[in-house]
């Protein structure tokens, strides 16, 4: 009788657990190792405010959320797309619903019940868990871990690496694997902040009076390095040293790439995207004698607080002496950003194992039998369910690769 083949999965996040589940179902002996005491710590924290699991938009639009890595990830994500992910959740006994923005959530908006059901199914299926095992060395069919002060070496016929990127390091994704793989000759792009805030230089007045204020009902426009003009509406927060929030995160790749090339990124902020410049001019022509400029702004176009502060911050008074000039200023507030916030503060990370380092099934070309999945791979995506979907899908794809490798 042929001996059951074994697979070691290193990393107990969504990518690793999905690989473990698929491999266990395929008949392999599966052992999951993780540096932390419990599984899916980042997944659980991300779900505290509402577990956004994926997105319901058409696939042709969905896949483009992965920027220049869309074509590479298409093979993985088309094999386990948003519909398949939702069906998988339903099979766990948890319903989903689509929010007004098109985002998909578990019915109770929480990550913990989903994880409990999943871990129960994995353990009942035979998956063995080895927690508090931090990988310190790697060979094609073995890995060494630090566990309770001792070195422990595990052996398997194949290994799936799913140790995350480098954001939220306290939860386990510290990027320590980067050096280990680089030393093995694997081509690995530097890990950088993604879905993150950025530093700017505000005046002392704005810092002291308006730091922490939300900036709502506005739009960003940015010209990418490729010359593409990108405009999106949303909101963010003006911090003492820059900008944070969902709209900033949506632009983070473009901003970071520009800063890496030239040392700065210049955003244009439209404070009133609901109105055209011509409509604003009409409103701004309704002046009143002896009315202060601040009252005039608030009465005619509803601008006050942080928005008026940004106007003063970014344009000289001579620029808004006429309704035409003021309308132009309100539609184009320049904001210079010079640095991304630290990767430890970012929602996710960019960089990682490059496309050229793996084959079509995510096996390392110079380390046969070792596969990679999740945020370890060199891709990024905005928030909205895209990050998790790609983690699940690449874990699924890596498991397919292991099955093909061990049972051709």
Q: Where are the domains of the chain?
A: 6-194+347-406, 198-340
Q: Which two tokens stand for residue 352?
A: 């990682």
Cβ contact 329:310 at 8 Å: no
**What is the pLDDT at residue 248?**
96
Please give the Cα distance from 106 to 50 (Å, whole number). 9
pTM reported for the whole predicted model: 0.93
Beta bridge partners of 366: none
Q: Between β-strands 370-372 and 158-161, what pairing exists: parallel, antiparallel or unpaired?
A: parallel
Cα angle for residues 298, 304, 306 (degrees, 5° grid): 165
Each residue's pLDDT expressed in tens, for the chain with a length of 408 residues: 568 999 999 999 999 999 999 999 999 999 999 999 999 998 988 767 678 999 999 999 999 999 999 999 999 999 999 999 999 999 999 999 999 899 999 998 889 999 999 999 999 999 999 999 999 999 999 999 999 999 999 999 999 999 999 998 888 889 999 999 999 999 999 999 999 999 999 999 999 999 999 999 999 999 999 999 999 999 999 999 999 999 999 999 999 999 999 999 999 999 999 999 999 999 999 888 888 999 999 999 999 999 999 999 999 888 888 999 999 999 999 999 999 999 999 999 999 999 999 999 999 999 999 999 999 999 999 999 999 999 999 999 999 999 999 986
DSSP one-letter code for 361:
T
Give Cα 234 distance to the centre of its chain.
17
Strand bridging mode 6-10 / 158-161: parallel
At 144 the three-state DSSP class reads: strand
Radius of gyration of the chain (CA): 25
Residue 318 makes CB contacts below 8 A (sequence gap 6+) with: none
CA-to-CA dists, residue 278 to 47, 282, 293, angstroms: 43, 6, 20
CATH class of domain segment(s) 6-194+347-406 = alpha beta
Residue 212's Cα: distance from chain center in Å?
23
Give me 201's structure tokens: 């230089």
């Amino acid at each position: 009788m042929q001996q059951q083949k074994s697979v070691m999965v290193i990393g107990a996040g969504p990518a690793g657990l999905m690989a473990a589940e698929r491999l266990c179902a395929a008949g392999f002996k599966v052992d999951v190792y993780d540096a932390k005491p419990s599984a899916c710590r980042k997944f659980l924290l991300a779900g505290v405010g509402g577990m956004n699991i994926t997105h319901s938009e058409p696939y042709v639009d969905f896949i483009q959320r992965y920027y220049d890595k869309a074509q590479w990830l298409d093979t993985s994500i088309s094999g386990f797309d948003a519909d398949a992910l939702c069906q998988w959740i339903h099979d766990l006994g948890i319903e989903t619903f689509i929010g007004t923005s098109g985002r998909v959530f578990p019915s109770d908006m929480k990550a913990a019940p989903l994880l409990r059901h999943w871990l129960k199914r994995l353990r009942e299926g035979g998956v063995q868990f080895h927690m508090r095992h931090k990988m310190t060395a790697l060979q094609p069919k073995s890995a060494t871990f630090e566990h309770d002060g001792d070195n422990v070496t595990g052996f398997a016929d194949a290994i799936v690496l799913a140790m995350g990127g480098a954001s939220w390091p306290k939860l386990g994704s510290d990027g320590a694997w980067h050096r280990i793989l680089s030393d093995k000759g694997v081509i690995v792009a530097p890990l950088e902040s993604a879905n993150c805030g950025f530093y700017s230089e505000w005046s002392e007045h704005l810092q002291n009076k308006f730091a922490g204020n939300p900036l709502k009902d506005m739009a960003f426009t940015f010209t990418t390095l490729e010359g593409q003009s990108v405009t999106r509406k949303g909101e963010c927060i003006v911090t003492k040293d820059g900008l944070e929030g969902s709209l900033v995160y949506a632009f983070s790749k473009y901003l970071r790439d520009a800063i890496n090339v030239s040392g700065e990124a210049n955003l244009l902020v439209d404070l009133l995207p609901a109105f055209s410049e011509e409509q604003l001019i009409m409103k701004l022509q309704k002046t009143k004698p002896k009315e202060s400029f601040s009252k005039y702004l608030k009465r005619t176009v509803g601008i006050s607080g942080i928005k008026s502060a940004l106007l003063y911050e970014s344009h000289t008074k001579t620029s808004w002496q006429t309704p035409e000039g003021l309308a132009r200023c309100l539609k184009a507030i320049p904001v210079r950003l010079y640095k991304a916030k630290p990767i430890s503060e970012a929602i996710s990370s960019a960089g990682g194992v490059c496309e050229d380092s793996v084959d079509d099934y995510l096996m390392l070309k110079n380390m046969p039998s070792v596969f990679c999945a999740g945020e370890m791979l060199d891709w990024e995506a905005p928030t909205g369910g895209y990050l998790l979907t790609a983690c699940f899908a690449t874990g699924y794809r890596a498991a397919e690769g292991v099955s093909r490798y061990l049972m051709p």
